[in-house]
Amino acid sequence: MLFNEIVYGPIHSRRLGRSLGINLMPTTDKLCTFNCVYCECGFNTKVDHPRLPTKEEFASALQARLDSLSESRETIDVITFSGNGEPTLHPDFLPIIRLTCRLRDTYFPKAKVSVLTNSTQLFRDDVVEALRLVDNRILKLDSAINSTMHLIDDPVNTSLTVETIEKLLARFEGDFILQTCFLRGTKGADIIDNTTPEELKAWYEAVDRLRPKQIMMYVIDRATPLKTLQKISAEQMNAIAQPLRDKGYDVILSC
């Protein structure tokens, strides 16, 4: 499922509420630094010169949608950057976030601005600066074991390690929301399962090192590009969350 607009919705988000979606990637192709097996947008499309919306096109689209929502007296809980890939890849991500915050303050001052990101661009100071401006920095860590992270997330940079991701996440000193998708299945001859005791031990230890202000744990809920994946039960998800809750972490489950 690809989003064919720059601004779409509002839609209902399991974790965020009534969400106005933002897509800074192409409207016809998936473009991401990960190729996650569970991504609702499918696998990356091989495009030599993908066309991204300009910041002027984005400004016009967001202004028009906010005008329409305001005139119809609709409300939104959040403006969410997600879309057809990794939003922080956009070269004008910082000015786009600044504009979004200004328009939010004008139209829906109670709404949050959220960014769902796989964290691979956090080596860029402009991306970190932009993320510090938003209300919800939602940063992915699907496994704390390198081999499993590569099976699930399939990073374009094949040398990417969990240790590198953790160092990038640590730039926010815990002031972020950690997001993890739990799943199991097979990928060719490989077994995918980030719910095993070994996986959970490594993940719990990573959580304790990073100390995020909130943890979003969720399961697959839509069609996935890899058809062999299985949904984790709500009972097991609650069991995984309980040790974190016992330590005082704020954990949100989407099962």
* C-alpha closest to that of 6 among 70, 76, 62: 62
Number of domains within the chain: 1
Mean confidence (pLDDT) of the chain: 95
Amino acid 49: pLDDT: 72
Token digits for 87?
């939003």
pTM, entire model: 0.94
172 is a domain residue? yes
Please indicate, yes or no, if residue 2 is contained in any of the structural domains. Answer: no
215 within some domain: yes
In a domain, 137, yes or no: yes
pLDDT tens, position by position, 193-243: 999 999 999 999 999 999 999 999 999 988 899 999 999 999 999 999 999
**Residue 142 is part of a domain; what is its CATH number?**
3.20.20.70
- Where does the pLDDT of residue 97 fall: very low under 50, low under 70, confident under 90, or very high at 90 and above? very high
Q: What's the Cα-to-Cα distance from 91 to each of 46, 54, 55, 155, rounded to whole Å?
A: 19, 9, 9, 20
Q: What is the pLDDT of residues 25-73, one digit of tens each?
A: 999 899 999 999 999 999 998 777 788 999 999 999 999 999 999 999 9
213 in a structural domain: yes
Q: Which domain holds residue 181?
A: 7-254
Asked, for residue 1, whether it belongs to a domain, the answer is no
